A and B are shown apart, each in its own frame.
Chain A
């Protein structure tokens, strides 16, 4: 586990900064600081959390926000399955340890390869969890002081943040196709469907992952 903390160290400032951003954005969207921090501690997944704030802020309603966020996190089911064999012991222990699985800890620990190291996964995940949740608390405090969000370009900040998160996902041609499809579906549906629906419908573009085998 200690090795996991070491290999994750270069990512800790990034997780902290993204946590601060989430805390500020949530507070600026009129969330309580406690709601922002509880979300970071339990959900522990940046894009899903920012999407929840964004969909609610855009008038999409709780159901649309929750479904969009959970679809974004659906990748954790297959990611968890690739490392499932290494998890032993009682139910609660496996469930708790599984929460340390995020994109970064999975990649750092060699997830999906023969050299997967669960200790590294747990150490990296724990280090990033502390940075992420602590950063959110810091941002939530700062965000309460900043004031009216529209005057400092909050909406533009959301768009830029999603763009950055998207860029980190474009690692294959298939992902680029899925992204173009998702953007197109959202653009076409925005004028005709209620808020929240265009984002949910964009999940159909994930069928770009359909592989002939």
Chain B
């Protein structure tokens, strides 16, 4: 089985369980609010890390290359409240353009 398929099946099964745990198992019981607020912060922490890794990491070093232009263009699109497909397109085009010119 390819790495992609193995990941697809594992993430799919894990997500079904994560979404189901409340409605199936917890019922009306209370969960510690402290735990809930930590879990809610996982998404921003991990997404910020992904921005850093996808934008600046080249294997085991941090570099500034054409992706910085993509990130800047994407950031501008986000700031202008552009729809998400436009953010992705801006990032791809800016990166490709800088790569082409350098």
Contacts and interface: CB of A to CB of B under 8 A. Distances in A.
Nearest to A30: B4
Please tell me the size bucket of the interface on A.
35 or more
Interface residues of B, number: 79
A44 interface: yes
A187 B45 contact: no
B48 A166 contact: yes
B97 to A, nearest CB: 8
Interface of A: 13-14, 17-18, 20-21, 26, 30-32, 35, 38-39, 42-45, 47-49, 51-52, 54, 56, 58-59, 61-62, 65-66, 68-85, 87, 91, 94-95, 97-99, 101, 150-167, 169-170, 174-176, 178-183, 185-187, 190-195, 198-199, 202-211, 213
A160 B20 contact: no
Contacts of A199: 46, 49-50, 53
28 contacts: A14-B85, A30-B4, A32-B5, A35-B2, A45-B15, A47-B46, A71-B42, A75-B40, A78-B22, A78-B39, A83-B22, A84-B28, A85-B27, A156-B69, A156-B70, A156-B71, A156-B95, A161-B74, A161-B84, A164-B87, A169-B43, A178-B44, A179-B44, A179-B47, A190-B62, A192-B60, A202-B46, A209-B40
Interface of B: 2-8, 10-16, 18-24, 26-28, 31, 33-57, 59-62, 66-67, 69-71, 73-75, 77-78, 83-85, 87-97, 99
